[in-house]
Every structure is written in structure tokens, then in C-alpha cells.
Structure 1
Amino acid sequence: MSRAYKLSLIQTAVQSDKKQNLEHTETLIREAAAEGANVICLQELFNTEYFCSRVDQKNFELAESIPGPATNHLAKVAAELSVVLLVPLFEKASAGIYFNSMAVIDADGSLLGIYRKMHIPEDPGFHEKYYFTPGDLGYKVFDTAYGKIGTLICWDQWFPEAARITALKGADLLVYPTAIGTLHTESSDEKQQFLNAWKTIQRSHAIANGCYVAGVNRVGREEKSLFWGNSFVAGPFGDILAEAGEGEQILSVQIDPSQIEPQRQTWPFMRDRRIDSYHSILKRIDG
């Protein structure tokens, strides 16, 4: 069983300059580490603006390899500070093949691996299918220096199957780096409705799987979207342990994996799963 550790989520606004975004994020990483963070998670596409709001071939120039400039730099920071870094960015895997990815850097600076976003949306203001190939590495759990962390990204958060599979692989914590907000055409009532749904679905993953769940969102206005922040961490029965507002913030909370087994003993959803009856889940439509 992993020991307790301090998780910090870095919720920021971003600029058009990748170098400036990296430098600003590093400053916040160092601040979080100085306050005792062991695991630090960044938001989706942390070092770029949310370019998927428009279709523009020039945006492919924002992508980089893993390992590459950002991950190599942050690996040195992780080793210096002895922290685990979860680094979501725009990955160029090869000519014409790009992913929305998350690099996991251990506390010694080693690259443990990559998660590539499995579910790719296509909505007004979120043209991700133009840019991203669907993830080809499957669902991932990384056994870091501080805990077993399941990595998922944004649109993945709406799919209970993704959360369940990742939890079954042994994750104590599911992280969802995110870029979500309201479009300029949407009302304040719609914003609140969407925000409530976003929180509810992730809290339900914590309850159904008896594990911790963290959603880390960006903030600020970028072209068509106003990103609403509200990053939060839920405990193994869905209780919100910490929640951010709508401005830049480092949100920190203790993660205690020893709380997972008692929770699953009390609410034995894992025990009572009828795995013999779930064949239809592998079909698009059952009928």
C-alpha cells in the first residue's frame, strides 16, 4: 500500500508564447514543491493556448516530441525537487501523427511513460479530431515514487468505462487534466449546468471505483472560450476534499491510499461486479 502524499494541481491562464508558459509553470511547480507537494499535475496542453478552438494547419507547429524540449527541462526540475510531474502536452509522434498526451516524470527525473488521450471530441469550439490521433497505448497506471496514478485527459472524464478500467489496473488516484469552459454564445445558466455536470461525473468515478479523483482545469479567456477553473479533488466516496476558484491557483490536498480498502470494504462495488453479464458493453449498439 502506498503511503500518503501531497498532491498539487496547477491551474493557470496561458499566453501565446510556449516558452513563457513553461517558465511560468516552472515557477508554480517550485512554489508547490516548497509547500510540500510530492506529486504535481498540470492542466491539459499546459504550455500552449487551447488552439483546438479553430482549424489551422499552422497549429501543428506547436507540437513537440516526448522526450523533447518541455519534458527534458521538467525532468531536471522533477529530479532537483524530488517531485513527480504529470505533464500534458501536444505530442508529435511522427510526421502527420499527433496526440494529446501526458508525460509522467518520476521524482528522480526519469520518464516513466506516456498516456495518449483515448477519447477525442469534436464540438463547436473544440475541434480536436482535426489535430489528435486517438490514443494507441491503452489505459495507463504509473507506479510512481509516491503512488499509483491513473492518467486520463479531459474528454475521457465523461466515460465511466475509462475510469473503471484504469481503476482495475490498480490506480489509487485518477487524474484528469482538462481544458473546459463556456463558449461566448453560452449563458451563465448553461455554464453552471455544464460545471455541475463536469463535477458530478468525476465524483461518480470516485464513488464507483473507491479511489481518489482529481480534475485540473485552466482559467482565462482564449478566443471563443472562457475557461472556468474550479479544479478539485474528490475522495474515495466522492466527497470534495479541495476545490479551486476561477483564477490562477495551486490547489493542494493529502492523498491517503490506505483509505481506499476500507471504502471498498464498506461499499463493495468491485466485489459485486457481474463481469459475466457485461458483454454488450463491447458493442456500439445492442439490439
Structure 2
Amino acid sequence: MSMNSTNTLRGGLIQMALKSSTDNDPETIRKAMIEAHIPLIEEAGEKGVQVLCFQEVFTQPYFCPSQDAKWYESAEPIPNGPTTKLMQEYAAKYKMVIVVPIYERDDVTGVYYNTAAVIDADGSYLGKYRKTHIPQVAGFWEKFFFKPGASNWPVFETQYCKLGVYICYDRHFPEGWRALALNGAEYIVNPSATVAGLSEYLWKLEQPASAAANGCWIGAINRVGHEQPWDIGEFYGQSYFVNPRGQIEKEASRDKDELIIHDMDMSMVQEVRNGWQFFRDRRPSTYGRLTEGE
């Protein structure tokens, strides 16, 4: 159902540092990351969080500075892999929507995606979003690991809100935010793995701008710490909630594992959209240049 004007939505975001050496096998790392997340998942459930989201590829290091096929072993099927199944149990236990960003192994052998599974508050699997835009620059050799997704901008009708997902590098592309909003998204989560440097200034620029442009809430999640042996920089945390006016209302620390919880006033979505009327005043018939060719 959609939020009505009297409802708030209690959101939760979890940011976390890596809990296991990258020398270990991916399954050992997955188990360590799950174990570290469980107390925060339980805390979110006990505190009444309605929509919870983790960071990008939350069960593993951000392995894309390497081009090591070892990490293909960390990919799981969705929804029949162990992580999605486990999170379905927690979703049902706490009546909490959970967005589960993991490395996905497709049914086609040797095809992998950067994906988020979406689980409803009754534990049912609603579907998945596959990261659309895949970078290939120094330190971020993602095309080695991920096939670009073509999910057609799904919006998930959860028990609490109309939910969209956009993953990390996607956030630099305004077209996807707009497509999700036009498909009905009121709240969009952006699980990420981004390090200090060029992106840090953009971190608090792009999502607030996109929230304002589309009149929606956004939850932005980043991991924390340094990951060896690559150490491409500091994952600087600072996960946050930004409202439909583009104002950051709640922010996490820079360097700690943390669950942040925030009550979002969902009546702001209609209020802001009615005020600005960006969707009314769009001129899609004049935008052909945006979709001509590749």
C-alpha cells in the first residue's frame, strides 16, 4: 500500500566495516559479516524499524580493486541462496521489510550481478534490482565482476511504502532516480561502497539533489574503514536519510559500525510534489536526445 498523509515510515540503515581477512574464503567472510549484522538487525526489529537496508555487497569486502576470480565464489542465487533465505526469516520475525544487497549468481553459469533482493514484512520475496550502471575505472574494476542489470526500474509495493532501489555508482545518473519516482517510488535506498576523494563531496550533493528533483525520501548507505590488501581509501560511512526537500535529517558517523533509525514523514512526498509540480511540467517529448543511440 502507499503511505497515507498521516503515516510516518521508520527506516533503518546499517553501515559496517569488514570483519574478516580477505585472505579467507568468501564463505568464511560471509558468515563473519552476517554474524556482525545480526545484533543490529535484531535491534532494528525491536525498535520498530519498518524498512531496513544494508550496504552494497554487504556480506563481502568491496573486492572490485582486484581482478581476482576467487570472488566469483561469493556470489549467491537470489532468492534461493542462504543470505536471502536467512533475511526472509528475520523479516517475518520482526514484520520488517529488508533490502539485501548481495553478489548474485545468475541461473546462467558464469553470469553475475550486483543485486539487491527485497523482502516484504511477512518474509515473502518481492523481487530484486540489479545495478544498472557499472563503473570501470582505477580501483573500481566492476565490469570484471558484474554484468549490467536491466531491471526496468522496479518499485516494490511493500506493506509500508512504495520502495525503489538504486545501487552505488547508479546514483551519479539522474535518469534512474527519475524513472523510479515516475514508477511510484516514495522512498529509494542507495546501498553503496564509496571512498574518500572525489566522491566524498558528491556524497552529500547528489542524493539530496535527487530527492529534491523527484520529491521522494532517500536512504544512502556507505560502508566504513579500510579494506586490505587493496586499501583504495577510507570508506567514510556517513549514511543518511534525506527528505523530499533535499534536507539531510539524520546522519551516521564516519568510522563506526552503526544502525541509524529515522522516522520519515511520508506526507512530505505529496506536499513537495504538489508544491513544485516537476512531474506536471516535464517535457519528455523534447528529451529525445537523452535516449538516442549508445
TM-score (norm 2): 0.91
Find the partner of 1:234 among 221, 234, 242.
Answer: 242
Query: What is the CA deviation profile of residues 133-173 of structure 1, one whole-angstrom value per residue up to 9, with x for unaligned ones?
Result: 00032211101011111111001100000100000000001
1:69 and 2:73 are equivalent in the alignment: no
Aligned to 2:154: 140
* Bigger share in strand: 1
Find the partner of 2:267 among 258, 274, 280.
Answer: 258
Q: What is the CA-CA distance between 1:194 and the residue it aligns to? A: 2.8
1:23 and 2:35 are equivalent in the alignment: yes
Q: Which amino acid aligns with 1:144?
A: T
1:199 and 2:197 are equivalent in the alignment: no
Q: Which amino acid aligns with 2:291?
A: L
Partners of 1:95 and 1:194 lie apart in 2 by 34
Aligned to 2:13: 9
Find the partner of 2:96 among 83, 87, 95.
Answer: 83
Alignment partner of 2:33: what SS? helix
Partners of 1:156 and 1:5 lie apart in 2 by 24
Partners of 1:75 and 1:212 lie apart in 2 by 24
Q: How does 1:107-122 map to 2 (within 5 A)?
A: 107-122=121-136
Aligned to 1:245: 253
1:58 and 2:70 are equivalent in the alignment: yes
Q: Which amino acid aligns with 1:96?
A: G
Query: What is the CA deviation profile of residues 66-105 of structure 1, one whole-angstrom value per residue up to 9, with x for unaligned ones?
Result: 1210000110111011100000000001311000000001
Q: Is the 8 A contact 1:84 1:144 kept in 2?
A: yes
Q: What is the CA-CA distance between 1:58 and the residue it aligns to? A: 1.1
Q: What is the CA-CA distance between 1:284 and the residue it aligns to? A: 5.2
1:164 and 2:173 are equivalent in the alignment: no
Alignment partner of 2:278: what SS? coil
Q: What is the CA-CA distance between 1:251 and the residue it aligns to? A: 1.1
Alignment partner of 2:190: what SS? strand
Q: Which amino acid aligns with 1:241?
A: E
Partners of 1:40 and 1:152 lie apart in 2 by 15
Q: Which amino acid aligns with 2:98?
A: L
Q: Which amino acid aligns with 1:29?
A: I
Q: Is the 8 A contact 2:91 2:122 kept in 1?
A: yes
CA RMSD of aligned residues (A): 1.2
TM-score (norm 1): 0.93
Partners of 1:80 and 1:214 lie apart in 2 by 23
Partners of 2:117 and 2:137 lie apart in 1 by 26
Q: How does 1:205-220 map to 2 (within 5 A)?
A: 205-220=210-225
Q: Which amino acid aligns with 1:199?
A: K
Identity %: 41
Aligned to 1:283: 292
Q: Which amino acid aligns with 1:255?
A: M
Partners of 2:265 and 2:273 lie apart in 1 by 14
Q: Which amino acid aligns with 1:272?
A: D
Q: Which amino acid aligns with 2:203?
A: W
- Gap runs ≥5 in structure 2: 21-28
Alignment partner of 2:246: what SS? coil
Q: Is the 8 A contact 1:15 1:48 kept in 2?
A: no
Alignment partner of 2:279: what SS? coil
Query: What is the CA deviation profile of residues 215-240 of structure 1, one whole-angstrom value per residue up to 9, with x for unaligned ones?
Result: 10100110323200011111001000
Q: Which amino acid aligns with 1:52?
A: C
- Gap runs ≥5 in structure 1: 183-190
Q: Is the 8 A contact 1:118 1:138 kept in 2?
A: no
Alignment partner of 1:222: what SS? coil
Aligned to 2:167: 153
Q: What is the CA-CA distance between 1:23 and the residue it aligns to? A: 1.6
Partners of 2:45 and 2:204 lie apart in 1 by 27
Q: Is the 8 A contact 1:232 1:244 kept in 2?
A: yes
Partners of 1:266 and 1:69 lie apart in 2 by 45
The number of equivalent residue pairs is 276
